[in-house]
Chains A and B, each alone.
Chain A
Amino acid sequence: MEFRFFYHFGAYLLMLKGMFSKPENPKMYWKQFMQQCVDIGVGSLGIVFIISLFMGGVTTLQTAYQLVSPIIPKATIAQITRDTIILEFAPTLTSIVLAGVVGSKIASELGNMRISEQIDALEIMGINTRGYLVMPKILAALLTIPCLVIIAGFLGIWGGKFAGVAAGIISNDEFIQGLRQELKIYNIFFALSKSYTFAFIISSVSAYYGYNVQGGALEIGKASTTAVVVSCVLILFSDYALSAILL
């Protein structure tokens, strides 16, 4: 187990190192990067939209359920919802979902290209496949996933407000007042740090498992599943590590 870990870790680092070479045609790399931005960013908007709204709504309702003391002002519900969403739910929950959506897509796309010899065809043409196929995916994830996390944050808070007001737990003004109480900009910096880390994990780990598939269709499925599982575990681990270091 230990040796397999080191084998995979070494191969993963070599893949990352292999990405850096002079592009054969920067225009084609740019085109590939833009395509990946659309696939990863725009393609994931729908699911991010849905989970963020519900995540915010549930957070508000459950926070209100637990804060029963009459001496705690209702604005505190909004404050807790805001901080929970910014610190944890928007970056971590969104990234876990994206590990499933984006990670499996990256792994299966590259795995399919490997099995159907498309990667070999590119190699034969004299193209650095790690640079052309993997790097644009990682860069696109680094650009779009933090944006998705920011969107998730806004939508989550808005969803929380909507659910709170609709259930008659908190008024609109009280919620806005709560949002403005003791806002720490550092929390936003922390959320963005997490989202960059998670974006790198999702894209690079999934690309590694997809790029190195050997076998047939069954192995593509296995690689896709492994990519999602490993990405999720690494996200949770780095979530803990970043919280311990930065907070």
Chain B
Amino acid sequence: MIELQDIKKGFGDKQVLKGVSATMEAGKVSLIIGSSGSGKTVLMKCIVGLMGVDEGKVLYNEQDFTAMNDQDKKTVRQEIGMLFQGSALFDSMTVEQNVMFPLDMFGVGSYKEKKKRVMECLDRVNLKDAARKFPAEISGGMKKRVGIARAIVLNPKYLFCDEPNSGLDPQTSLLIDKLIKELTVEYNITTVINTHDMNTVMESGDHIIYMYQGLKQWEGSNEEIIFSNDERLNDFIFASDFLRDAKEMRQMEMFRDKNWRDRLKKEPPAGEK
């Protein structure tokens, strides 16, 4: 579990994060969404420690990461896997060497054991056949999957994904979302995704944090987002007529289900009255 307590971060005169608190639970996918400049990338960098916070605390399983010394931070970081926007694969290494790198660096097991683990991870992301290829020889979607394999090779407790679907076609995006969701549940990982992709929001968002101008504007699940009355959130998520229509259709569909109606305790949508 990751807990954020009143995180503040500024650059010069500009306050980017103005006090963000949230809790991200294990086995669930937490999404940070928001328009460009809302502070979501800075928030993610603060959580993983690539940027220091000005005020507030980041707790990993109740341990204050922001107050740790470098050695303790290193220990926590070995439990973190991260998928970067551009995949951040090492160009001079093959897919197999990229995934093996964390195992080599932290001397986990013999070469045979390491190779077995790498193949398991590559198999998990359906890339066993691409093991000997270089990053330059594979597609964007494959690079993302290699990034995921590298992120999970050390069995992390926390998985961070920065824009996992950027530059991918809708079908590949769904595949990546599905994979991340499956891994989160399978290994009980605390997953945090920073995204703009509305498919990801609707398909994987167990827990969604909507950022607006450095503050947490809204928090809830992908089911609750359908019935949210927050204007800023609705303008951001359902920006086009097509998406607004889709939202209404989903609302009606959900309202017809009695379990949903009871859970949400909402008024019926206009079309259902």
CB contacts (< 8 Å) of B104 on chain A: these are 25, 28
Contact with B along A99-143 (1 / 0, CB 8 A): 000000000000010001110110111110000000000000000
Docked-complex contact B82 and A124, CB < 8 angstroms:
yes
User: Could you say which of B80, B86, B90, B91 contacts A124, with CB atoms under 8 Å apart?
Assistant: B80
Seen from chain B, the residues whose Cβ lies within 8 Å of a Cβ on chain A are 48-50, 70, 73-78, 80-82, 84-86, 88-91, 101-102, 104-107, 160
CB contacts (< 8 Å) of B81 on chain A: these are 124
A-side interface residues, number (CB < 8 Å): 16
Query: Do A127 and B88 form a contact, CB below 8 Å, given A21-B70, A120-B50, A121-B82?
Result: no
User: Could you say which of B76, B78, B80, B88 contacts A118, with CB atoms under 8 Å apart?
Assistant: B88
State A21–B160 Cα separation when bound (angstroms). 26
Among A12-33, those with CB < 8 Å from B are 21, 24-25, 27-28
Query: Do A120 and B84 form a contact, CB below 8 Å, given A24-B106, A25-B105, A25-B106?
Result: yes
**Chain B residues touching A, majority SS:** mixed
Nearest chain A CB to B194 CB, angstrom units? 13
Nearest chain A CB to B5 CB, angstrom units? 22
CB contacts (< 8 Å) of B160 on chain A: these are 124
State A121–B49 Cα separation when bound (angstroms). 12
Docked-complex contact A124 and B106, CB < 8 angstroms:
no
Docked-complex contact A121 and B84, CB < 8 angstroms:
yes
State A117–B84 Cα separation when bound (angstroms). 7
Docked-complex contact A126 and B86, CB < 8 angstroms:
no
CB contacts (< 8 Å) of A24 on chain B: these are 74, 105-106
CB contacts (< 8 Å) of B76 on chain A: these are 126
Nearest chain B CB to A87 CB, angstrom units? 39
Query: Do A116 and B105 form a contact, CB below 8 Å, given A21-B70, A124-B77, A126-B75?
Result: no
Of the listed residues A21, A25, A117, A124, the one surrounded by the most CB atoms of chain B closer than 10 A to its CB is A124
Query: Do A126 and B50 form a contact, CB below 8 Å, given A24-B105, A24-B106, A118-B90?
Result: no
Query: Do A117 and B86 form a contact, CB below 8 Å, given A124-B50, A126-B77?
Result: yes
Query: What would be 10 A-B contacts, judged by CB atoms less than 8 Å apart?
Result: A25-B105, A118-B90, A123-B49, A124-B48, A124-B80, A125-B78, A126-B75, A126-B76, A126-B77, A127-B105
State A54–B115 Cα separation when bound (angstroms). 51
Nearest chain B CB to A152 CB, angstrom units? 29
Nearest chain B CB to A146 CB, angstrom units? 27
State A123–B78 Cα separation when bound (angstroms). 10
Q: Which residue of B lies closest to A22 (CB)?
A: B71
Q: A28-B104, A126-B73, A126-B80 are in contact. List 8 more A-B contacts (CB 8 A).
A: A27-B107, A117-B85, A120-B50, A121-B88, A123-B77, A124-B80, A125-B105, A126-B74
User: Could you say which of B88, B89, B90, B105 contacts A28, with CB atoms under 8 Å apart?
Assistant: B105
Nearest chain B CB to A96 CB, angstrom units? 28
Q: Which residue of A lies closest to B76 (CB)?
A: A126
Smallest CB-CB A-B distances: 4 pairs: A126-B77, A117-B88, A121-B88, A126-B74
CB contacts (< 8 Å) of A116 on chain B: these are 86, 88, 91
Docked-complex contact B50 and A123, CB < 8 angstroms:
yes
User: Could you say which of A112, A123, A125 contacts B102, with CB atoms under 8 Å apart?
Assistant: A125
Of the listed residues A21, A28, A118, A121, the one surrounded by the most CB atoms of chain B closer than 10 A to its CB is A121
State A27–B101 Cα separation when bound (angstroms). 12
State A27–B78 Cα separation when bound (angstroms). 18
State A120–B48 Cα separation when bound (angstroms). 10
Q: Which residue of B lies closest to A119 (CB)?
A: B88
CB contacts (< 8 Å) of B107 on chain A: these are 25, 27
State A127–B106 Cα separation when bound (angstroms). 9
CB contacts (< 8 Å) of A127 on chain B: these are 105
State A127–B74 Cα separation when bound (angstroms). 7
